[in-house]
Amino acid sequence: MSDSEPDLELLELLRQHLAGKPQVNAEPDTGVLESAEYVYNNCIDVALDMRSCKNAAKAIYSQMQTKSYSPATWATHELHPHPSKGDKPEDVVAFIFTMDLLNFSFWSERSEEERFSIEYKGKRWTGYWSLVAALQRALEEGIPITDPHFWQNEDEFTLDTLKHVFRSATSEEMPLLGARLSCLREAGQILYEKFSCHPKNLISASSQSAAALVNLLASSFPCFSDVHSPPSFPRKKPIRLLKRAQILVADLWACFEGEGPYGTFRDIDKITMFADYRIPQALNQMGCLQYAPPLETAIHQKRDIPSGSGWEIQLRACSIWCVELIRREIVRENPGTKVNAILIDFFLYDTIKELEAEGGESVPHHRTRSMWY
């Protein structure tokens, strides 16, 4: 054999070695943060004020420390289920899945006294809490609203059933009831076909990866696939925002305090904030988000901003990137601190709702009627 001829035996040995070499699988990623950064770098109607972001990071961290804000804070809300309240873990998972399946579009143009609300335990609940209260009330009344088998029973589970579950203390009906019925029907069928009819099996299939669970939700359930391709952002990859898929994972993590088979996620910090209409409102009120005059006018005049439009995608994506920069600033100024986008989002949401109750909102939220948030 000359020097120029290949050693066929050696090549075969190399082929066998490489063929038997285990494949190294990359850790899953949701793509949400990458999408948010792309939109921020290419948008023209929303900007970030870096000085305000730094000030917000300092104020948020200080208040979170004062209030001892942590995943355990989630369970302190009286309406949230939790094993410490006597709820079975599997039932808690089913409740959270149902809750976040329907966790969208609660805003109203009516006054606080006239808007859709749920009467439960001697109180009136509005917004997101009206959803949680309605689910708890239905279960107490013997309606198996968190059971996927029930969702598939077209004789017992109808639009009238859902209207009863979400019957309002006012004349205003819960928005998008038909869409909510479709979400439950669709999810029930998919759970039956792929996941033995219980959402706990979704968690098992994700192998304790938050990103994998988000991706599984988005790929398996169309109503969780919060993915967009607006003409104003032309590129091969669509914009992934995945609000409800991410908040479902975050709620599981917070409820079970990052422990056990339903709360342990090795990569929980890959979850971003949950792009809705309340967090952009809070960030704008703190001076972190700045809007171009036409967009600012549209928000202040409470004009409809269509779902999936350039303005709406910029509002949501830039909010994600803004919270990420705030998180990075908190970690930079406080080395060793444990804070992620989930806790910052929960804190900002609670804060803006407190301001709303006190009449302290200085700017309105944007108006988009959507099943994505």
Catalytic residue numbers? 276
Please check whether residue 118 is in contact with residue 124, taking contact to mean a CB–CB distance below 8 angstroms.
yes
From CA 82, how far away is CA 263, in angstroms rounded? 12
Question: Which letter, b or e, does each residue of 160-186 get, where b requires 16 or more Cβ atoms within 10 Å of its Cβ?
Answer: ebbeebbebbbeeebbbeeebbebbbe
Backbone angles phi, psi at 3, to 5 degrees: -65, -25
User: Letter for the amino acid at 193?
Assistant: E
* SS3 at position 50: helix
From CA 126, how far away is CA 263, in angstroms rounded? 28
Cβ partners under 8 Å of residue 63, min gap 6? 69, 347, 351
Cα–chain center distance at 248: 6
* SS3 at position 104: coil
Cα–chain center distance at 193: 25
How many CB atoms sit inside 10 A of residue 99's CB? 23
* SS3 at position 340: coil
Cβ partners under 8 Å of residue 321, min gap 6? 33, 36, 37, 39, 40, 48
Q: What share of the chain is helix, strand, coil (3-state, %, to 5)?
A: 55, 5, 40
* SS3 at position 165: helix
From CA 234, how far away is CA 153, in angstroms rounded? 42
Cβ partners under 8 Å of residue 282, min gap 6? 348, 349, 351, 352
Q: Is the dihedral of CA 116, 119, 120, 123 positive or negative?
A: positive
- Give the angle 351-354-358 at the CA atoms, nearest 5°: 140
How many CB atoms sit inside 10 A of residue 150's CB? 15
